[in-house]
Structure 1
């Protein structure tokens, strides 16, 4: 054991003796069930890392749909179809941004870039 680990262990033991952990939320209650319990143990850590990095299945699927819709908009010549696709894109982006904001992540999606471009056009 290194010196810092010994110091931290001593501080944790002292805090436990002083009762500093007694009023923590969930104290004495069982842990919530593991949502990745059905994944084999040897790859569970990789799934956790991906999930913590924002690569959930829902977010990944939404990102793929957003890219596909953006490509369709860029290739479309029909204005009505482009407007409908833009509405779909905005809905997907809002859903994606809400997922990311629940995680505390900032997103640099095209909807906000488009909005800032529109604001700049009006100002100039």
Structure 2
């Protein structure tokens, strides 16, 4: 062990002895591990940072917006507003298609798996 690791371990032991770690949220509950197998290894840290900050990657935000717009279109009774929503939906769909074409990810296995999970979550 290097010096920094030993100092960190010592600080943690001291905090445990003083009881400073007794009332942490989630104490006694199992950890929920993220399944990141569908995300390329070099992008995982970035995705986790974005997720923890509540920010979605651009393509997922576009998908989320598309699901929301689709629901609004189905509920809308005003024909003029419905047409405006359809136009916005078509723009989002085009933007999403361009993003996926640019990234060439539309046919990869991990992308399809991740896309299905995210769409299920937003429905």
TM, length-normalised to structure 1: 0.41
Q: Which has the higher contact order (CA 8 A, sep 6+)?
A: 2
Structure ID, larger Rg: 1
